[in-house]
Structure 1
Amino acid sequence: MAEDHVQPWKIPPIVQELAAGVPEPQSRYVVRDQDRPAAAAAAAMPEPAMPEPIPIVDLSRLSAADDGGEVAKLQSALQNWGLFLAVGHGMEPGFLAEMMQVTRGFFNLPIEDKQKYSNLVNGEEFMFEGYGNEVVLSEDQILDWCDRLYLIVEPESRVVGSLWPARPHAFGAVLREYTARCRRIADVVLASLARLLGLPEGRFVGMMNEGVAMTHARFNYYPRCPRPDLVLGLKPHSDASVVTVVLIDDAVGGLQVQKPNDGGGGGVWYNVPIVPNALLVNVGDAIEIMSNGFFRSPVHRTQ
């Protein structure tokens, strides 16, 4: 019997289109009661106080070999939180605004234009890159209230140009510049991590520059939900990466993180603060493994 590739549950609708026409989310997006962002509020529980601020690290000082204070701040951030807010990263506010503008410009295109870059092959099978939803593996899988665009941006030999949006017209040029600048940020961070582990400064940077490592860009769009108390934009996860650099919308919050060293304190979620023009940098599972747990890959979600 031929395998059925078009079962309705395998191909969910684009969330942006779904959100425009339903009074409440479909059941496949509704998370369990205990996992809902509003669960604590419904139980009249106050928002948990941050045990300590998420550190803000100045990368321009971090790259100075004699600035032990900033390096110590980085170590504390990645051991206690697995992430930090980066300033002094060399990206001007106007450039960050341009990156956000082309991102919004793509998601605001008509659906038929965005579907030119679909992550479905022949409308049936998921591929890693492209525009659409997450991969659906089972009929009872709870889906994220999120549309996304995945692209490989490095190395150049792996870039699939046909999946890069032609509109907005500046999209490709801005993304390439953003990628190059993020690479410089990653190199500074990885060099510092190597020093903290007593390794040669170029140990991790060299591993990432051997032509085998890929860099992905992921663009997330969270449509307005008629019942935001029932859904999650992104379910809890850690990143299967080395380093992730995140440009956060400075007008809308929602990113939350668990503190790795909370001592098993019930999985408390803390809101990541918005710091204008700061980038969020977190280490991924690969760094936690390569550092033998010295640095921690944080579990995070978007509510």
Structure 2
Amino acid sequence: MLMPGSVLPSYASVLDLLDAFRRSLLFSCGLVDSGLTEVPARYIQPLDQRINKQDAAVALQNMTVDLSELDGPNHEQVVKTIAHAAETLGFFQVVNHGVSLELMESLKVAAHRFFSQPAEKKAVYLKGVSPSPIVKYGTSFVPEKEKALEWKDYVSMVYTNDANALEFWPNECKEVALEYIKMSTEMVKRLLRALIGNLEVKLDESTLDALVGLRMVNMNFYPTCPNPELTVGVGRHSDMGTLTVLLQDGIGGLYVKKGEASSSANEEWIEIPPVHGALVINVGDALQILSNGRYKSAEHRVRTTSVESRVSVPIFNAPLPVAKIGPLPELVARDGVARYRELVFEDYMNNFFGKSHEGKKSLDFASIL
């Protein structure tokens, strides 16, 4: 379980920080800052993993939900729309969600502010030297296990309580990131209540809280890429948690897989267009498990661009690490079969972060059928 550090660590020697700084130069930010004009070989993806922008059709015109109507006379229709999206694509967008436009713009500014710092400033948050395990600056996903690296840097901040966030999260973004989590939490619970209620299951508030008890906000940075057709910003994957809330900037580049294709040649990928004022919501593995497969965690990936650097800011809402998750008993009784086994969510997390991105294969860890 991720726990906050109680005191600031002292470096074993100056060499520790210097080593962290050298490693930071291997990040995509550092490569671009160095004047790179071609993608290095270690970032070049296999042909079947590359993203052809021309092959993706813009969709989701009818998948933008006005959450202000969730408590009004159109409640049932709104719930049906949300549930349909969760059952099919696993993605939808929401407006009138309670997160102010001013805050959304501030998040983008804060992300650019953090990543525009000199490498040695960001390097103090690298794993092994970060002042707390609730903050990590990194690149790609699991670099030591990936055949080809992703063209992305990120800073990840786990929320435990306000005091730890204000003490340990980076000064450049901590206040706005903390406000983002606070303003989105009730929205996430409303969506989860609607989705679980659509399954004709009732959960008490303590159970609901446990299903979104682990919250982590990332700030992702995708620098301009000299050869975007050769690499990816993020490889194909599904998220491990319950629901993810994502703020896109206006540049775009997020793609979701439509349906279950029999082969990679038959796959259809749909671009999720940025909508001003909207937040993207996607279903994670934990909700697919809880729903006994009724709701689909969305397999998605991100394309890079040669035009300008872009940012995105997701909040990953997941069960508490100590929580046991499995198909809801009412659904197993109704379906006559459990498609996933019950497990402690921390075990699922360890498996998820122990491997490189590979589509939805993370779900195999919990699958029975």
Regarding TM over 0.5, the answer is yes
Q: Which residue of 1 aligns with 2:169?
A: 164
| Deviating more after overlay: 94-103 vs 211-220 | 211-220
Q: Displacement of 1:209 after TM fit?
A: 2.1
- Contact 1:148/1:220 (8 A) holds in 2: yes
How large is the Cα RMSD of the aligned pairs?
A: 2.7
What's the TM-score once normalised by structure 2's chain length? Answer: 0.68
Match of 2:45 among 27, 31, 39: 31
1:20 aligns with 2:25: no
SS state at 1:230 partner: coil
Q: Which residue of 1 aligns with 2:110?
A: 102
Q: Which residue of 2 aligns with 1:137?
A: 144
Q: Which residue of 1 aligns with 2:365?
A: none
SS state at 1:232 partner: coil
**Percent identical:** 27
Distance 2:80 2:224 in 1: 40
Q: Displacement of 1:287 after TM fit?
A: 0.3
- Contact 2:59/2:272 (8 A) holds in 1: no
Distance 1:129 1:155 in 2: 13
Q: Displacement of 1:116 after TM fit?
A: 2.0
Q: Which residue of 2 aligns with 1:3?
A: none
Distance 1:241 1:152 in 2: 13
Distance 2:177 2:148 in 1: 31
Distance 2:233 2:118 in 1: 22
Q: Read off the aligned partner of 1:62 and give its amino acid letter.
A: L
Residues 151-179 of structure 1: CA distance to partner in whole angstroms, max 9, x if unpaired?
1024558x465541123xxx222211110
- Contact 1:31/1:231 (8 A) holds in 2: yes
Q: Displacement of 1:182 after TM fit?
A: 1.3
Q: Which residue of 1 aligns with 2:197?
A: 195
Residues 115-161 of structure 1: CA distance to partner in whole angstroms, max 9, x if unpaired?
1222x2159xxx774112233233x621110000011024558x465
Matches within 5 A, 1:73-112: 73-112=81-120
Q: Displacement of 1:212 after TM fit?
A: 8.5
Distance 1:98 1:128 in 2: 22
SS state at 1:209 partner: helix
Q: 1:226 to 1:137 in 2, by over 3 A?
A: same
- Contact 2:59/2:271 (8 A) holds in 1: no
- Contact 1:117/1:163 (8 A) holds in 2: no
Matches within 5 A, 1:207-226: 207-210=207-210, 213-226=213-226
Q: 1:89 to 1:175 in 2, by over 3 A?
A: same
Q: 1:142 to 1:163 in 2, by over 3 A?
A: farther
Q: Read off the aligned partner of 1:254 and give its amino acid letter.
A: G
Distance 1:288 1:197 in 2: 12
What's the TM-score once normalised by structure 1's chain length? Answer: 0.82
- Contact 2:157/2:216 (8 A) holds in 1: yes
Q: Which residue of 2 aligns with 1:71?
A: 79
| Deviating more after overlay: 61-70 vs 46-55 | 46-55
**Long gaps (5+) in structure 2:** 1-18, 304-369
Q: Which has the higher contact order (CA 8 A, sep 6+)?
A: 1
Number of aligned residue pairs: 277
Distance 2:206 2:236 in 1: 31
Q: Which residue of 1 aligns with 2:252?
A: 253
1:267 aligns with 2:267: yes
SS state at 1:269 partner: strand
- Contact 1:115/1:131 (8 A) holds in 2: yes
SS state at 2:180 partner: helix
Distance 1:51 1:226 in 2: 27
